[in-house]
Chain A
Amino acid sequence: MSLLQVRDLKKSYKRDLFARKNDVLKGVSFSVPAGSITGFLGGNGAGKTTTMRCMLGLDYPDSGTAEFFGAPLSSDSKRRLGFLPERPYFYEHLSGVEFLKFYAHLTSSWKAPVLNDRIAQLLKRVDLTHAKDRPLRSYSKGMLQKIGVAQALIHDPELIILDEPMSGLDPDGRLALSEIILETAKKGTAIFFSSHLLHDMERLCQRLVVLKDGICIYEGETDALLDKSGVELEIYYFEQNERRSLRAQNQEDLQVQLKQLLGRGAAIIEIRRARATLEEIFVKMALRGRNP
């Protein structure tokens, strides 16, 4: 079942009254199934943020539709989704706890003890218990990102949409956020997020949606995309007191290469599947416009 179904979304902007319209989205369609982590990939200006804004009713699309949980966006569906925008700014006058209470009360009514427990639990999960009473203006960028994720999770949504959640974070912050994403997905929440960090995408996402110039050029399993570029087998061996490696194109080639090596008296150390990284494929697909 698809939690989010985007169909033929088109959006153009005019910089000023006399400027020509700039078509940002030229018919974007994709879906996000339940219980998956779906990555939204695309170069700068591909239209990822615009797609998210149009989906969520923040910007009005020229045409096309976005359905959440099988129906157009409504108060009910808004209660079932969480969102963290790119480079979020929050109310700096609020403390961490006040901030989470504000978003919780905006979404639904809570009994005080239940909400307090939920906030304590979330602050622990994003490792911000120590800063819960500090105003947000004193938070670092990483802390703001974490509290932003916490506000998206406060009402325990079924689908979370994150726009560039890793941007600007140091490796520690990225790792912490990755863990939060994986942990959340384990509990059955579907996650749809955009990022420029392809290594994280490859590691976290089961599915990918790739956007180029306002058009969706790939939608499907991450593994299928990686396999599309062809899988090679890498043989590591020891010969003449030296560690060496060579690549086999397929199983038959592997058998031939192994026979030759063993015949020469080489010691086989390891055989690994080697395939192109997402980064290599993305560069081909999105930036150069070639199929993998």
Chain B
Amino acid sequence: MRPVWVLAINTYREVIRDRILYALVLFAFLLIGLSLALGQLSFAEQARISANFGMSAIHLCAVALAVFVGSNLVYKEIEKKTIMTILVRPISRLQFVFGKALGLTMVIITMIFGLACILGLVFYGLGQEVGARFAVVLLGLLGEALVLLGVTILFSMITKPLLVVCFSIGVFLIGHWQGSLEYFAAKDQGGTLKAVSWLVSHLLPNLERLNWKDLVLYADQPLDFASKAAALGNAAAWFAICIWISTLLFMRKDVG
């Protein structure tokens, strides 16, 4: 397990020292700031608008980090040949992929936690509660980022980063629109849309299951821990399966 941890720490350091992270964090700050400004425009819904914007900022940043950095995570190592000095050390290809993924996961957790602290202060200033509901929403965002990270690493084993980003954004969009697709499929007279909807729901993750922003927007939403835990378990399974398939593909690859 030590090599995995060493690689994860190195990946964490690499991303933390990269400019892309600061650009994303700046973007999130701007969105949270904008949420305060927009909240001022509304008489009764200031807290709700701020909460919605703030959570969306964290959501977008976590997804962008998983997709944009994840698409280059292994590819850059092969392209720059840094991988050659690593794989000649006592480390397996599974440990390599897992170590890289773990490092980026740690960055995503750090970023979500950091931005959540800022948003928590905003909530506190607006008299909103910062408690279990707030934490559960953040866990949902982390779960979604992990699923997308797994999918992105999987795509990166078969194609180049630009296409990987396109595919992963596709999975993100379809993952959030599966409900709409099912709705239209139910009204479809022919069978095509139904078949497409069935395929999509069985082959791609349903990311709306991890979207729990309503918990902080509407106080009357029930906090059902069992269903949330099941959804998080599902996300972890998606992540694990993607990493496993990625490793199988990576084990067949010439990396020199």
Contact between chains at B255 and A106 (CB < 8 Å): no
A59 at the interface (CB under 8 A from B): yes
CB distance from B248 to the nearest CB of A (A): 14
Contact between chains at A103 and B85 (CB < 8 Å): yes
CB distance from A287 to the nearest CB of B (A): 25
* Cα distance A107–B86 in the bound complex, in angstroms: 9
Contact between chains at A83 and B90 (CB < 8 Å): no
Q: Mark A58-92, 1 if CB is under 8 A from B, else 0.
A: 11100000000000000110110101110111110
Contact between chains at B6 and A81 (CB < 8 Å): no
A21 at the interface (CB under 8 A from B): no
B81 at the interface (CB under 8 A from A): yes
* Cα distance A79–B3 in the bound complex, in angstroms: 12
* Cα distance A271–B86 in the bound complex, in angstroms: 52
Known contacts A93-B14, A105-B6, A106-B91: does B85 contact A83 (CB below 8 Å)? yes
Chain B residues whose C-beta falls within 8 Å of the C-beta of A84 in the assembled complex: 85
The number of inter-chain residue pairs (CB within 8 angstroms) is 75
CB distance from A162 to the nearest CB of B (A): 12
Contact between chains at B80 and A81 (CB < 8 Å): no
Contact between chains at B7 and A85 (CB < 8 Å): no
A151 at the interface (CB under 8 A from B): yes
* Cα distance A265–B254 in the bound complex, in angstroms: 70
Q: Mark B77-90, 1 if CB is under 8 A from A, else 0.
A: 00011111111111
Interface residues of A in 29-61 (CB under 8 A from B): 49-50, 53, 56-60
B187 at the interface (CB under 8 A from A): no
CB distance from B253 to the nearest CB of A (A): 9
Which A residue sits closest to B79, measured CB to CB?
A89
Contact between chains at B89 and A107 (CB < 8 Å): yes
Q: Mark B213-256, 1 if CB is under 8 A from A, else 0.
A: 00000000000000000000000000000000000000010111
Chain B residues whose C-beta falls within 8 Å of the C-beta of A57 in the assembled complex: 87-88
Known contacts A81-B88, A90-B82: does B13 contact A59 (CB below 8 Å)? no
B46 at the interface (CB under 8 A from A): no
Partner pick for B84 among A50, A79, A85, A105, CB 8 A cutoff: A85
Contact between chains at B255 and A59 (CB < 8 Å): yes
Partner pick for B81 among A56, A75, A88, CB 8 A cutoff: A88
Contact between chains at B88 and A93 (CB < 8 Å): no
Classify the secondary structure of A's interface with B: mixed
Contact between chains at A83 and B84 (CB < 8 Å): yes
Contact between chains at A59 and B91 (CB < 8 Å): no
CB distance from B143 to the nearest CB of A (A): 29
B2 at the interface (CB under 8 A from A): yes
CB distance from B79 to the nearest CB of A (A): 9
Chain B residues whose C-beta falls within 8 Å of the C-beta of A90 in the assembled complex: 82, 85
Contact between chains at A102 and B10 (CB < 8 Å): yes
B17 at the interface (CB under 8 A from A): yes
Contact between chains at A106 and B6 (CB < 8 Å): yes
Instruction: State the interface size on chain B (CB cutoff 8 A).
Output: 25
Chain A residues whose C-beta falls within 8 Å of the C-beta of B188 in the assembled complex: none
* Cα distance A81–B86 in the bound complex, in angstroms: 12
Interface residues of A in 95-154 (CB under 8 A from B): 98, 102-103, 105-109, 148, 151
Chain A residues whose C-beta falls within 8 Å of the C-beta of B2 in the assembled complex: 105, 109
A198 at the interface (CB under 8 A from B): no
* Cα distance A53–B88 in the bound complex, in angstroms: 10
CB distance from A282 to the nearest CB of B (A): 25
Which A residue sits closest to B82, measured CB to CB?
A89
* Cα distance A76–B13 in the bound complex, in angstroms: 28
* Cα distance A85–B3 in the bound complex, in angstroms: 21
* Cα distance A76–B82 in the bound complex, in angstroms: 21
* Cα distance A106–B90 in the bound complex, in angstroms: 7
Partner pick for A58 among B3, B80, B255, CB 8 A cutoff: B255
Contact between chains at A106 and B7 (CB < 8 Å): yes
Contact between chains at B88 and A103 (CB < 8 Å): no
Contact between chains at B85 and A94 (CB < 8 Å): no
Contact between chains at A58 and B6 (CB < 8 Å): no
Which A residue sits closest to B15, measured CB to CB?
A93
Indicate the member of A50, A58, A75, A87 with the most B CB atoms within 10 Å.
Answer: A58
Task: Give me the interface of B with A, judged by CB distance under 8 Å.
Answer: 2-3, 6-7, 10, 13-14, 17-18, 80-91, 252, 254-256
Q: Could you list 5 A-B pairs, sorted by A, with CB under 8 Å?
A: A49-B256, A59-B254, A83-B88, A106-B86, A106-B91
Which 10 A-B pairs have CB atoms at the shortest separation, nearest pair first? A53-B256, A75-B90, A58-B256, A59-B254, A89-B80, A93-B17, A59-B256, A106-B89, A83-B88, A85-B84
